[in-house]
Amino acid sequence: MPPIRALNVAEKPSVAKSVAGILSRNQGLRVREGRSRYNKIYEFEYSIRGQRFEMMVTSVTGHLMELEFDERYKKWYSCDPGELYQAPVRKYVPEDKLDIKRTLQEEARRCQWLILWLDCDREGENIAFEVIEVCTEANRHLNIWRARFSALIDRDIHEAVQNLVRPNQLFADAVDSRQEIDLRIGASFTRFQTMLLRDAFNFNFTTDDKNLVLSYGPCQFPTLGFVVERYWEIQSHEPEEFWVINCSHNSDEGTATFSWGRGHLFDYTCAVIIYEMCVQEPTATVTKVRQQEKLKYPPYPLNTIELEKRASRYFRMSSEHTMKVAEELYQSGFISYPRTETDSFSERTDLRAIVEEQQGHPTWGSYARQLLDPGSGLWRNPSNGGHDDKAHPPIHPTKFSAGESGWSQDHHKLYELVVRHFLACVSQPAVGAETIVEIDIAGELFSGSGRVIISKNYLDVYRYETWGGSLLPTYAFGQQFIPTSLTLDSGVTRPPPLLSEADLLSCMDKAGIGTDATMHDHIKKLLDRFYATKDANTRFSPTNLGEALVMGYDDMGYELWKPYLRAMIEGDMKDVSMGIKAKNDVLASCLQQMKACFLDAKLNKAKLLEAMEIFFDRSNRSGTLEQNTVVGVVRRCTLCHQTDLVLKRRPDGNFMVGCLGYPQCRNVVWLPGSVAEATLTNNTCSSCVPGPVFLIQFKFRRHEIPPSFSADHLGCIGGCDETLKQLIEICGTGTRNVGGMPARGRGSTAPSGNNPPGNTRQNACIHCRQMGHASNDCPRAPQSGRPRPPSMTTANGESSIPCNSCGAPCPIRTANTANNRGRRFYSCQSQECNFFVWEDALYGRAARPTAAPIRANASTLGSASHGRGGHGQARGRGRRGGAHGPDVTFVSATGDPFPGRRCFSCGDPSHFANACPNRGM
């Protein structure tokens, strides 16, 4: 029977080399290059349960695939961050790993079996299914198996290959869920924070504000919350004085110190009264003498979190560096897999064999021999810590070493810690004799204790822990003596210390923030993002930036910086891995909850800005989110050809299409001023090139467009849309009210596009006195040749019409805004009225002036021949219909008159020089 060809895939090149070397016993092992020069292929023959195999062993380098948004949503300004909660995502092989993909597919085509040697945790299982997806694209008939092992040693590797199992889809689903949740939440909040704050403030900790990223991570932010909360606790602490009675007694056997049973009192008067009672009757009577055996137990078997905490506490090594060194020791075969939650050994583990390997060590070898000696009575089966991830045993030594030549000092320290910790686990607890003496002075109880260590046991090898002993003089029940000293001392309460790295890891572990494999990454991210600092004692303090961000979200009323939400997500991931919950159900519920938080945070962004202002100075730049809200990418910029044209909503509610390269590129496409809403669609224009040009769904304000036009229109800004061109001709490109804002001294004028229906007072039609339509849309409005509406002349000779609300005369004025310069209107001068109407709305379009053309590098619907008003007339030609009369007064954008202003070309006060009809003649 011909041998079966099996492709074996490990998670790292070093693991692939170790597995191949162990299985082949370094005999008949052939090595050849793959497509990737870092991932070699090892070939040898092997037998699994009597069946001959031709084994090919290669590797990936961690995750083979990445998760990202579709191309349209990848760029920061391509969409509103809130859209990222439902934007399409995809898993793909990145460019730098395509050679690994080609190697796997080429080898898979020639094989019948696929054996996966990825790390035996949820993350490793997810990578395994990435490998499966790539390999089955080339060969759908592969027989797929999983090797489960915990250490790169002969015993584990041979046992794993002889007992292959099927991959666990549930483990992979749990990681897929976490990746998608983290991507959507992290990207949305990171874009929101960065675009809102980066340009709005001067950050004094970086010289490159433009590339500053204010990241948000679902695990990173609660980790920051622990640091900030402890810091606030320290800052808010108010020292409070207290009083305590201290008692001591000297004898021939030594000095005994007795503690007051009440501890301490904050009331000075009460403390003084009690103290005086004791001084007046100072005789102490022994009321109890208790002697008992006291045990100090060895630690539980070592898991990842304990390894990081103890390395930080004993050696001041960061958790990130600890895991890096541990990973290198594991890949070299000296310790078991270092990412494990398990802190109890299974009954199948041969613990004595592990101890036997350490007998030859010059430092702890004698202790190992003593452990194995039945007559010493030192051996004790390790305690059960209560955690088992069902994937890996606790961290333990797998190979003897007295020190390797290539090891750093940290490699020596960490290997020694793992060995000593394991030897301590299988040792008897330390034994001590403790004596407690209680005395009575004037009715007040005091107690003292002493301890004598009888047998150190595990403390002989575990030099990182001590058990201090202090002798107590001998006392007998009923014995009386006069204290040598009896004092009333004062003290003050002290705040807790800053969190150390070990403390922070404990907080994260207790709250379920992150996993044993990722906690150190979250801590490192705080330091990389300038959210926190770590001092020489490994204690963390928040930076101004970190504190401001937590304060801003806290002021909003959200506890995004608290651990509860993330702990719930981690619990859901565990349920997915156990098959209790479905992946899609967890995704839907979690993202729905976080999207609601995100949308509320956007509405309350002022709280975030206020918190930042406490710590940082405002810059002269505005935050991107304060300038324009990006709706989405419309097309590639036709001017700079480097970035995209995007649909933006301006702060005044109007829409525009502009280049993301602003201010370097000022390309802009103006839209009709009557646009109320604009939504980007997935439809593309079939006419405009170069494409794609995405179509925009417009909704126009009904009262600002002619009746013959629909209020809903699917349009193209590429230059082919005649409807948009006509509406620009009719409506112009800006807001329809004067200056786009309420006039000073009176209410708002015409409704603005950013106000919802019913939120703005609407004027009655001046023709029929009815609500619901504008005067220029009234069916009773006078047509060409009909009599004009009633008008009157004011005392100074100005033309006017009666106000439709209060009846007062409304004088005619002339606007001086960029969009409506030279255009005349009537408005009521009363502060209680909002009456406003354009003159050309009453008498037809002929009276409307031509707006000034836009800059040469701006385009209107793809055509540079149109002016901003859409009329295409020469700049400075004035309005059609001749000059204004001498009784016309110009007004500013706010409606206030410009007294004494006149045209400097002809001296006429009715217009400015840029609208002079005599200019250019």
What is the per-residue pLDDT for 642?
77
Top pLDDT among 36 and 792 is at 36
What is the per-residue pLDDT for 559?
73
d(CA 341, CA 321) in angstroms, rounded, equals 19
- Band of the pLDDT at 788, cuts 50, 70, 90? very low
What is the per-residue pLDDT for 367?
95
What is the per-residue pLDDT for 321?
94
Top pLDDT among 279 and 624 is at 279
Q: What is the mean pLDDT of residues 23-34?
A: 91
Residue pLDDT, tens place only, 819-863: 666 777 777 766 556 667 777 766 554 333 333 333 333 333 443
Residue pLDDT, tens place only, 305-322: 999 999 999 999 999 999
H helix or E strand, kind and range, residue 575: helix 564-577
d(CA 64, CA 393) in angstroms, rounded, equals 26
Place of tokens 């809102």: 196
- Band of the pLDDT at 224, cuts 50, 70, 90? very high
Instruction: Give the residue numbers annotated as catalytic, written as ranges.
Output: 337
Residue 878 predicted with pLDDT over 60 = no
Residue pLDDT, tens place only, 411-465: 999 999 999 999 999 999 999 999 999 999 999 999 999 998 899 999 999 999 9
Residue pLDDT, tens place only, 333-386: 899 989 888 899 888 788 999 999 999 999 999 999 999 999 999 999 999 888
Residue 583 predicted with pLDDT over 90 = yes
Of 303, 315, 317, 519, which is closest to residue 421 (Cα–Cα)? 303
Top pLDDT among 797 and 849 is at 797
Distance set, CA 125 to CA 101, 132, 170, 727, 864 (Å): 18, 10, 9, 58, 57
Of 357, 382, 347, 355, which is closest to residue 371 (Cα–Cα)? 355
Q: Answer yes or no: pTM beyond 0.85.
A: no
d(CA 158, CA 160) in angstroms, rounded, equals 5
Distance set, CA 230 to CA 223, 227, 233, 313, 545 (Å): 11, 5, 5, 19, 16
Residue 49 predicted with pLDDT over 50 = yes
Q: Can you spell out the DSSP letters for 628-666? A: -EEEEEEEE-TTTSSSEEEEEE-TTS-EEEEETTTTT--
Secondary structure letter of residue 748 according to DSSP: -
Place of tokens 């730049």: 621
Residue pLDDT, tens place only, 608-619: 999 999 998 888
Secondary structure letter of residue 704 according to DSSP: G
Triad 538, 544, 548: Cα angle to 5° = 120
Residue 158 predicted with pLDDT over 90 = yes
Place of tokens 């088992």: 388
Least confident of 325-339, 612-626, 634-648: 612-626
- For the chain, give the mean pLDDT: 81
What are 891's strand-pairing partners?
897
Least confident of 432-441, 635-644, 683-692: 635-644
Residues 6+ apart with CB under 8 A from 171: 121, 122, 125, 126, 577
Backbone φ and ψ of 655, nearest 5°: -110, 155
Type of residue at 514: G
What is the per-residue pLDDT for 208?
61
Q: What is the mean pLDDT of residues 205-232?
A: 85
Residue pLDDT, tens place only, 711-724: 899 999 888 998 88
Top pLDDT among 156 and 289 is at 289
What is the per-residue pLDDT for 119?
86
d(CA 508, CA 309) in angstroms, rounded, equals 12
What is the per-residue pLDDT for 334?
93
- Band of the pLDDT at 907, cuts 50, 70, 90? low
d(CA 496, CA 352) in angstroms, rounded, equals 43
Residue 171 predicted with pLDDT over 60 = yes
Answer whether 382's CB lies under 8 Å from 425's CB.
yes
Residues 6+ apart with CB under 8 A from 157: 18, 19, 22, 23, 149
d(CA 653, CA 63) in angstroms, rounded, equals 44
Residue 621 predicted with pLDDT over 70 = no
